[in-house]
Structure 1
Amino acid sequence: MRMGAAQTGGHFPVPHKSLSLDIKGNKTEIVISKYEDIFLVIVSQIGCMGTILAAKKDESVFSDPTYNVSVLFGKRDEAFLLACARQLIEHISSSGSARPLVISLGLKDHSQGALKDVISAIIENRLW
């Protein structure tokens, strides 16, 4: 994974980071935005949005927290995409934020290694 330059935006319209990097030979664009009530992450190797997933932490007084991940739009049979969203919401929650996550994954390479590199790049440039 070769990193490109990360750009951090101010508070207009929302705090965000934008980066371009090479993941397994594919040019990958990542935008991480921090809204007042949600994190939005867009990852694209195809020049447009891909499968859109929503992830949130559900807390109960009587049990340990659970993580709910669902596909809002796109490929519903891609287990690695669901795992990617789940890992990110767990990381966001363990960092102390209660905001849910919406993530768009428009990837050419859906391999475990590529998604691991995507997750690492997002966590390294996180806004939570």
Structure 2
Amino acid sequence: MDGTRSMDSALGRQQGFPVRNRIFARLINGVLTDFVWNLYLDHLLLIITQIGTVGTVVSARQDTTFDGRSTVSTSVALGKRDSPVLELAARQLVEVIGAHGHRKPITLCLGVKDLSPGTVREIVAAVREDNVWSS
């Protein structure tokens, strides 16, 4: 596929190694974007970057309320604060990841040049299609 690179880390495929990882790249709004997944036993680290650094670091998790509804909580640990589009991106990514059954806390690192709603849609689609569960 044009604009897409993908590689499973040799370490992530070793039997018994506790961390699954996956690295791939996609063109998002015409900019090459790297995706790095590290799935630990109790946590997920997802780095999405167009700028070569982690950018804004967000802690997020999906919980179930006492009446069975799902809620998403996010907290900016480092970087841009009070960005509605950043919160939208984090919430949508948590929901997509939760749809694969992952309910552990997520550390999301977003280093994106232009974080617009269109960019968020493309990022969410890429995460839905190519993730640590698809390998």
Q: Same fold (TM over 0.5)?
A: yes
Give the TM-score normalised by the residue count of structure 1: 0.88
Q: Which residue of 2 aligns with 1:123?
A: 128
How far did residue 25 of structure 1 move? Answer: 2.0
C-alpha distance 99-3 of structure 1, shift in aligned 2 (>3 A) = farther
How far did residue 61 of structure 1 move? Answer: 2.5
Q: CA RMSD in A?
A: 2.0
Tell me the distance in 1 between the aligned counterparts of 2:93 and 2:59.
11
Q: Deviations over 1:90-121 (max 9, x none)?
A: 22223322212111000111111112111111
Tell me the distance in 2 between the aligned counterparts of 1:94 and 1:20.
22
1:8 aligns with 2:13: no
Tell me the distance in 2 between the aligned counterparts of 1:3 and 1:32.
19
Alignment of structure 1 residues 39-54 onto 2, 5 Å: 39-54=44-59
**Moved beyond 4 Å, runs of 4+:** none
How far did residue 13 of structure 1 move? Answer: 6.7
1:25 aligns with 2:30: yes
Q: Which runs of 5+ in 2 are unaligned?
A: none
Q: Deviations over 1:19-56 (max 9, x none)?
A: 12221121211111111111111011111110011111
1:97 aligns with 2:97: no
Contact persistence 1:32–1:122 (CA under 8 A): no
Identity %: 34
How far did residue 123 of structure 1 move? Answer: 1.6
Q: Which residue of 2 aligns with 1:72?
A: 77
Give the TM-score normalised by the residue count of structure 2: 0.84
Q: Which runs of 5+ in 1 are unaligned?
A: none
Alignment of structure 1 residues 57-68 onto 2, 5 Å: 57-62=62-67, 64-68=69-73
Q: How many residues align?
A: 128
Tell me the distance in 2 between the aligned counterparts of 1:63 and 1:17.
32
Letter in 2 for 1:52: V
C-alpha distance 3-122 of structure 1, shift in aligned 2 (>3 A) = farther
